[in-house]
Structure 1
Amino acid sequence: MIPAAFSLYPELDATTLSAFVAALESGDVTGLAPARAAEVSDVRAVASFSHVKVAGADGDLLDAALWRHNGSLPRPVIVMPSPWTNHGWLPYAVQASVFAARGYNVLAYSTRGFAGSEGQVDVAGPLDVADGSRALDHLIERSAGPVTKIGFLGDSYGSGISQLVAAHDTRVDAVVALSTWGDLGEAFYENRTRHVAAVEALLKAASKARLSPQTQSVFENVIADRDIRGVLRWAEPRSPFSHIKELNRRQVPIYFSHAWHETLFPGNQTLKMFNELTGPKRLDLSIGDHSGPEMTGMIGLPNRIWTNAHRWFDRHLKGIDNGITAEGQLLNEVMWGQTLEPRPTWHSVTEQVHRLYLVGGGELAEEPEAGWSASVLCGVDTPAAVADEIVRSGYDEIAGRPKAYRTGDIDRTVAAVWTADPEAEVTRLRGVPRLRVTYRAANSKSSFVAYLLSVAPDGTARLITHAPYTDLDSPPDSLVSADIDLQATAYDVPREHRLMLVIDARDPFYGDANLPRATLAFTSPEATPSYLDLPLG
């Protein structure tokens, strides 16, 4: 699931980006692609580029790059904290240049502990927030003319820092947060289930970074299931959701982008943040996984996420009426046909809810049925899975090659399966599916993962959405009632395809609270029947 040499940006060509930066410095565009050469010429015609050091918190020097216009004209500025990568600020080289050519002064910097920056990785803690303000100070002091408006833009790690700086520094006027998080605790610990593979991926992606002892300890505690309360206390101030009152008080405009099958920061916790914001806001949801939808823009190719990021800052930093606010708060890219659906709000996405009941015989039915039981053997993995590889599987999805699940290979002794009748017409799933299910666990701790699949007539399926669940409190041999939200989705179930709900007790992506060879017995009490609510649009 996580290769030994792992990057959150597997398609990032650092060699090409380094050549682009060298051309920014020298003006020699030999060897660059024509489009990149044109970008170098455009930015050098209006602004200078230089490597700089920013005096960050605690006296640590941060490696940075500055795009600076000459002359005394008033200008907006943009600060770009780096992603979670050993390349530091380099992934922003092309887009920062495009912003500069369009009239912005820009400073991109490597966050503390990464690449050429001093200090230790604080994971969007107080030192990172202070660094963001220091970087802004540096940019303002070196702007030749008055600064009109201020934006912060970040991808992944830099997106969380950007939101937090905006919550603490009243100078920030607008934010672009790509592949971001709202609640870091929920991203690490969803429905009381540890996101083990995601945390392992973050550790491997930061193999050359200098993690603080606290950061190292927190990550190891998630993996080893130690001091989870301490992890959540650590995560709270690092969650933009914890500072939403400050953002709302100032009505900070925030643009979000996110992937439907995000494996590092699952979408629902960002949706929670998005829905609580009261200022100008927009959310673009796309096919793929973490940072995949915006990756082509980082390497200089046309990309709607980056196009909208530019439009967002042009509207809120330059005051240009470019129509982006009139397009609604939401843009869904529907899996897998790539249709784009604008909506005025997230809540307008779901028009009605269709309830199907889990019944005996493995059916999803229109009426409830009590008295049945379906047992799941713990400790055994099944073909149902979140993803084959974190991040990398998302690129196959973007290319139109989502994983095909062979439903006939799912062993019904280690998974419980319910299947609906074939759809008579295309069924438009839009929103958050919700599952209520009751089960009996012999032990005091138990966990499972629920997957919603779309099954073709030939028995192959595509993953629509999923969610984990863990119970840590119930007495042994008691009935446990689980009410969970599956991750939000926009999916058209084709005619003659069937919806399938699969529940198993083991997925390497998550921490497992079950004892090996234990069983979970799923059922449906008459008073509280088990059901699946499908959001329809």
Structure 2
Amino acid sequence: MKPADPSDPATPSRPTTPPVPPVPSPPEALEAPEAPETPEAPATPSVPGMGSLYPELDAVALGAFAAALESGDTSGLPPARAAEVEAVRSVAVFSRGRVTGAGGVLLDAALWRRKGSGPRPVVVMPAPWTNLGWVAYAVRAGAFAARGYDVLAYTPRGFGASAGRADAAGPLDVADGSRALDHLLERAAGPVTRIGFLGVSYGAGIGLLVAAHDPRVDAVGAFSAWGDLGEVLVENSTRRVGAVGALLASAGRARLGPGTERVLEDVLAGRELGGALRWAEERSPFGHVKEFNRRRLPVFLSHAWHETLLPANQTLKLFDELTGPKRLVLSVGDHAGPGAGGLLGLPDRVWTDAHRWFDHHLMGLSNGVADEGQVAAEVMWSGTVEHRPTRQALTRRVRRLHLTGGGRLADRPEAGWTAGLLCGVDTPTAVADEVVRSGYAEMAGRPKVYRAGDIDRAVAALWVGAPAEDTLRLRGTPRLRVTYRAANPGSSFVAHLMDLAPDGSARLVTHAPYSDLGSAPDSLVGADIELQATAYDVPRGHRVLLVMAGRDALYADANLPRASLAFTSPEATPSYLDLPLG
């Protein structure tokens, strides 16, 4: 479909037929918000330091910006923010109020409407998993309005000042997204040319799902979204209890729907996982790839390499299957970290890319986006960004290193060795000291430093490669094939790939968990897994270090207390590590 010509006054308004039965809108365009229902918040597990999934968001500053948009009084704002408010108010009318969602649930919202009666594209922005709600977008939505868009930002049900109970991107949230679009289209002062959805985290997942269900959507942008929610809950048969606990704990005063609360608690407790995965499948954009591809829907994705909440591989799986226009921006950090500064109005390359993406696909601007390739990958700790035509082009060749006796990574396989470890003991190789927050320290240039000499060889198995003769450019998805014997039914381990410096310090490159829940005691288990994708330069003289630990706080431990794992390498199925090289 060609973009509508914004200069053509005959451009018709977009149809407003949603894919769900309409709910009557309130008689006034925007009404004063009512206080939502406030039942008791569900009990949540303790996650140290976890008050928010978005620690960089400054609620006070964003609230002051929103208040100035409404009142016009910028006296309390820094000069740069005051100028932004004045620029937005000069071209758009800002108002706050409510959107009537599915079932008549009232959703807290804000609307930026361009002045004049000319054609305009529109953007709908569902808010993240936070009681701050749509205010998280106060600055960024204004930036879209200043560029020529009408914008509606809203708080999903169950959060902040919106009523109802959180549906965790289920059918009610999808229906709410279409109702929010109806609300915006009904109030546009001029013909609407094209439609986009954009969100961060929870709002990103909702936006992708609305775009899959509602054929009116022409482009979508998603920061730190999930592609397959089932792999967020369970990765390689391993329950991701750190991430699930963080979701529950960070919900705070949110009102979770009983189904959502039950599923998250079931994952933490290790019960009814089949039901949890079916629940997640309905909420996974990956399940709607055919619809994205049938419409060749343009999709912009931003993600972090060391994401602890929504690991990157499950989102990359979605990206790889898309056949329409697509863009992937990968950055250092953790959940919603890439782009966090942009939400506060700071210069931000990820938001710059997103704006240009929408300008091209919704406004029809020839700004070079279509010629830049599908991938922009930030190399960890180097500060450089590499552009590639496809994600597969990140990897030029694969180097196979075999796990051998004596703790060496070698070019040739070796059979007959055993490397054991004792389970149930914490090790210094923990992936993250805190979910989300550890990755924000990485963004600030303070990655966690591990001391290889502190790793007890009784509770972890280590293999180290030869010093790199030249910089080893890891680009893509490392793969691990390993065989081990578990003395008891139920076993798990976490593989950590590290960069070991000559002074004995190490940095985490990537990792992955693995669990086997069905093998008989004392049987050989073959694990064939993908570690999380990476872009990392191992400097000359440094070594690749592989560490296997039986326990990591991010993941459920399927091992019995004091059980043991014995890694080996049968001649017929040697154990190896495949390193993707750029």
- TM-score bracket for this pair, using the shorter chain length: over 0.9
Find the counterpart in structure 2 of residue 113 from structure 1: 158
The answer as to 2:423 corresponding to 1:378 is yes
Per-residue deviation, 1:3: 2.6
Per-residue deviation, 1:4: 5.0
2:50 and 2:246 in contact (8 A); partners too: no
Partner amino acid for 1:170?
P
Find the counterpart in structure 1 of residue 220 from structure 2: 175
Find the counterpart in structure 2 of residue 155 from structure 1: 200
The answer as to 2:481 corresponding to 1:409 is no
Find the counterpart in structure 2 of residue 320 from structure 1: 365
Match of 2:495 among 444, 450, 469: 450
Any idea what SS the aligned residue of 2:180 has?
Answer: helix
Partner amino acid for 1:409?
D
Count the aligned residue pairs.
Answer: 537
RMSD between aligned residues? 0.8
CA distance, structure 1, for counterparts of residue 88 and residue 502 of structure 2: 54
Match of 1:490 among 535, 538, 555: 535
CA distance, structure 2, for counterparts of residue 248 and residue 5 of structure 1: 38
Any idea what SS the aligned residue of 1:89 has?
Answer: helix
TM-score normalised by length of structure 1: 0.99
Match of 1:145 among 177, 190, 194: 190
Find the counterpart in structure 2 of residue 209 from structure 1: 254
Per-residue deviation, 1:2: 3.2
Find the counterpart in structure 2 of residue 296 from structure 1: 341
Per-residue deviation, 1:5: 5.1
Partner amino acid for 1:250?
R
The answer as to 2:52 corresponding to 1:22 is no
Match of 1:396 among 430, 437, 441: 441
Where do 1:71-470 residues align within 5 Å? Answer: 71-470=116-515
Find the counterpart in structure 1 of residue 545 from structure 2: 500
Any idea what SS the aligned residue of 2:292 has?
Answer: helix
CA distance, structure 1, for counterparts of residue 54 and residue 315 of structure 2: 21
1:86 and 1:205 in contact (8 A); partners too: no
2:498 and 2:545 in contact (8 A); partners too: yes
1:383 and 1:409 in contact (8 A); partners too: yes
Per-residue CA deviations over 1:317-349 (Å, capped at 9, x if unaligned) read 000010012110000100111210000000111
Per-residue deviation, 1:48: 0.7
Any idea what SS the aligned residue of 1:397 has?
Answer: helix
Any idea what SS the aligned residue of 2:342 has?
Answer: helix
Find the counterpart in structure 2 of residue 514 from structure 1: 559
CA distance, structure 2, for counterparts of residue 321 and residue 70 of structure 1: 25
Any idea what SS the aligned residue of 1:348 has?
Answer: helix
Partner amino acid for 1:433?
P
Partner amino acid for 2:215?
T
- Which runs of 5 or more residues in structure 2 are unaligned? 1-45
CA distance, structure 1, for counterparts of residue 233 and residue 382 of structure 2: 31
- Alpha-carbon distance change, 461 to 81 in structure 1, aligned in 2, over 3 angstroms: same
Any idea what SS the aligned residue of 1:317 has?
Answer: helix
Any idea what SS the aligned residue of 2:413 has?
Answer: coil
- Which runs of 5 or more residues in structure 1 are unaligned? none
The answer as to 2:93 corresponding to 1:48 is yes
Any idea what SS the aligned residue of 1:521 has?
Answer: strand
1:94 and 1:299 in contact (8 A); partners too: yes
2:211 and 2:217 in contact (8 A); partners too: yes
Per-residue CA deviations over 1:37-80 (Å, capped at 9, x if unaligned) read 11100010011111121000111000000001232101000000
Partner amino acid for 2:438?
S
Any idea what SS the aligned residue of 1:292 has?
Answer: coil
Any idea what SS the aligned residue of 2:216 has?
Answer: coil
TM-score normalised by length of structure 2: 0.92
Partner amino acid for 1:434?
R
2:49 and 2:434 in contact (8 A); partners too: no
CA distance, structure 1, for counterparts of residue 54 and residue 405 of structure 2: 45
Partner amino acid for 2:164?
G
Partner amino acid for 1:111?
P
Partner amino acid for 2:142?
S
Any idea what SS the aligned residue of 1:19 has?
Answer: helix
Per-residue CA deviations over 1:91-135 (Å, capped at 9, x if unaligned) read 100000010011100000000000011110100000000000000
Partner amino acid for 1:497?
H
1:4 and 1:204 in contact (8 A); partners too: no
Per-residue CA deviations over 1:300-327 (Å, capped at 9, x if unaligned) read 1000111111001000000001001211
CA distance, structure 2, for counterparts of residue 159 and residue 184 of structure 1: 13
CA distance, structure 2, for counterparts of residue 428 and residue 2 of structure 1: 35
Any idea what SS the aligned residue of 2:493 has?
Answer: strand
CA distance, structure 1, for counterparts of residue 445 and residue 163 of structure 2: 41
Bigger mean CA offset, 252-261 vs 397-406: 397-406
CA distance, structure 1, for counterparts of residue 261 and residue 523 of structure 2: 37
CA distance, structure 1, for counterparts of residue 388 and residue 49 of structure 2: 41
Runs of at least 4 residues of structure 1 off by over 6 A?
Answer: none
Find the counterpart in structure 2 of residue 37 from structure 1: 82
